[in-house]
Structure formats: C-alpha cells, structure tokens
Amino acid sequence: MPDALEIKGLHKSFDGVEVVRDLSFRIAPGEIFGLLGPNGAGKSTTINMVAGVTRPSAGHIEVFGHDTRSDYRTTRRLTGVMHQEIVTDNFFTIGQALQFHSGYYGVADDPAWRNLLIERLGLGPHLGKPMMKLSGGLKRRFMVAKALIHRPRLLILDEPTAGVDVELRRTLWDFVREINRDGTTVLLTTHYLEEAEAMCARLAIMNHGRLVALERTSDLLACLDGRTVVLHLQRPLDTMPAELTRLGAECRPEHAVLSIPLPKDMTVIELLAKLHRLNLPIVDLEVRRAGLEEIFIELTGMERGGREVKA
Ligand SMILES: Nc1ncnc2c1ncn2[C@@H]1O[C@H](COP(=O)(O)OP(=O)(O)OP(=O)(O)O)[C@@H](O)[C@H]1O
C-alpha cells in the first residue's frame, strides 16, 4: 500500500527567496499528522504544493502513489483541502455550493454523505444563505464540509480552528477523529499546540522552510520530563534574588509571573521551603509539566507569546 502522502526533496522559492527548503516526509494511510511551525515557516506553501495550486521549484509529491504533477486529476480527487484563507463565494447559497462542489472533482453528488456532513457540522439551518452571511465559525465549518464533499482519502486542514470558539473546536476535532476512524488520513496545521498534542500521533515541525523535527508525538514529549514551578506574585519584583537567578528562574515583570525550572534533585516541597525563606509576595502557584510548547520554543527559537528570538 503506498503512503497517503510522500514529499521528497521539496523546494519553493518566491522571487529568489527560498521559503521551502529540501522538505521530505511521509504520511502513512490512516494517520493524523501535524505540521507545525511559526508564522512564515512554509506550512501553507507546502500544503498549496500538495493541493496542486502552487508549483514546486524542485522535488516530488505523491498522494497514494500518484504524482501531483503528472497525475494531477487523480491526486486532486484523492485530496480534500481546507485552505487557511477564507474565500467567500456569494454566487451560490452554501446548500447549492455543497451540492455542486463534488462535480469539480469528477465525483457524483452523494446526497446521503452531503446530508451527513450538513448535520454533523451544524449547517442545516444556514443552507439558504450565501457564505458572506455566515459568522466566522460557520464559514470554517462550511469549508470543512466543502473539503470533504467528494470523500477524499487525504484530508488537509490548514488552521481549521483559527479564531473558532472552544465548543466549536471540540466538535470539529471530534468529527475529524470520526472521519479518521472511518479511514481518512489527515494532515493538519494549527497554532494551538495542545490541539496538535491531543490529535496527532506524529508531528513535523518546520522553521524557515526546513524540517527541524519529525517524530512520534509521544517521543517528542518523552525527551522533556522536567517540571516548572510557576509563581504568580502580588506585585513585580524590583530585583531578582540571587538564589532565584541560580535556579534559572525567569520573570515576566509586566505580569508579575516567576517561572522556576524544578531541579532534578529537588522536590516541589523542597523548592517551596527555599522560596518561603525569600518571603516572596506569592498569591498563586502552579506546577507545569513540560509540553509541546517547550519543544516548539526550543526548536524554532520562539519566545513565549510568539516573538522570534534573534540569534
Ligand atoms: N505567493 C507568494 N509570493 C511571495 N511570497 C510568498 C507567497 N506565499 C507565501 N510567501 C512567503 O513564503 C513564506 C512562507 O509562508 P507560508 O504562508 O507558507 O507560511 P506558514 O508557515 O503557513 O505561516 P502561517 O502560520 O503564518 O500561516 C512567507 O515568508 C511568505 O511571505
């Protein structure tokens, strides 16, 4: 059985600037695979090349063993893409758009499947409206339905939950899991790292067009077993006590938040005893396990809050 997606030595330059550099990875049939990276890393460009809307400068892409260039009609039919940008089409109502859309892929309309998508994505009450009249969350749900209308075997979701409320995100991911259980392979990008951690068995992380990690999510997380004690203070510290500096504490003064990596040979209670002696104005305390965010920051040189750290 061929891979659901195979990317080999992919490059893309715009006006002489290389934004995807020698990218290679494979996705097995049935996987939910996450492609992560900071803004501008090259994720959407990669997805656009898989979808056949952007031409690679070099390299090959195969979808279930079919080349996206020489066998474009087949790969287009096998792939469903929800792009990041919302492109509104106001000529049709969304009900009509869903009815006609599978025809673009040479696939006959399947009313039972269409109705299932409408029902599961909560689009029923809105079928008579043009896309322009939908709220942002509904537009995204409609775009998911449109990506799935021709029953693709590879579903690509480029930031499907950007700007979507918590409840809708949950129902959307439940639905993606269900589609996946029924055999659809999923490639997704998201800036919500906890979603990637929960959804994806394997993750690729891109930075400046290159792959900087490609691992099972559990293996990525296993390399970080540290814990951080986070203290919320009543007011910012004027100066950092030397003892905290020695422990590698970081302070976000504007928020009066102090993060202290728990040394391997110390228990939380022992650390708290040390802190007690410093008489800090502590109002709240949490113990955080290292997660995907730490790995992401380490591999991409990002600071917490999304700013890139200049080398
Ligand atoms: N059509 C284009 N012409 C010129 N430059 C482009 C074009 N499309 C993308 N780029 C550039 O390529 C780089 C990668 O962009 P891309 O959208 O692929 O990143 P991304 O990882 O998807 O980021 P985000 O998380 O913000 O969506 C960026 O520097 C972007 O400005």
- What is the tens place of the pLDDT at every residue in 6-33? 999 999 999 999 999 999 999 999 999 9
Report the candidate in 84, 263, 61 with the shortest Cα–Cα distance to residue 157: 84
Rounded distance from Cα 118 to ligand 1 centre (Å):
32
Q: For residue 222, is pLDDT > 90?
A: no
In this structure, the residue with its CA closest to atom 3 of ligand 1 is 14
Residue 311's pLDDT band, with cuts at 50, 70 and 90, is very low
Mean per-residue pLDDT, 232-237: 88
Lowest mean pLDDT among 150-159, 160-169, 289-298: 289-298
The letter for the amino acid at 15 is D
d(CA 187, CA 200): 9
Q: For residue 303, is pLDDT > 70?
A: no
In this structure, the residue with its CA closest to atom 4 of ligand 1 is 14
Domains and CATH numbers, the chain: 5-222 (3.40.50.300), 227-289 (no CATH)
Question: Locate tokens 């792939």: which residue?
Answer: 79
CA 78-84-88 angle, to 5 degrees, is 95
Rounded distance from Cα 121 to ligand 1 centre (Å):
29
- What is the tens place of the pLDDT at every residue in 96-149? 999 998 888 888 999 999 999 999 999 999 999 998 888 888 899 999 999 999
Q: Helix-strand-coil percent breakdown of the chain, rounded to 5?
A: 35, 30, 35
Mean per-residue pLDDT, 30-42: 95
Going along 219-302, which residue ranges are E strands? Answer: 227-233, 250-252, 257-261, 282-289
Six token digits for residue 247: 């422990």
Rounded distance from Cα 44 to ligand 1 centre (Å):
7
Query: Which of 23, 45, 85 has most ligand 1 atoms within 8 Å of its beta carbon, as the pocket-test mutant?
Result: 45
Mean per-residue pLDDT, 67-75: 95
Strands 282-289 and 17-27: what pairing? unpaired
Rounded distance from Cα 14 to ligand 1 centre (Å):
9
Six token digits for residue 114: 């269409």
Q: Which comes out higher in pLDDT, residue 298 or 88?
A: 298
Atom of ligand 1 nearest to the CA of 159: 27
Q: What percent of the chain has pLDDT over 70?
A: 95
Predicted local distance difference test score (pLDDT) of residue 36:
94
Q: For residue 274, is pLDDT > 90?
A: no
d(CA 231, CA 13): 45
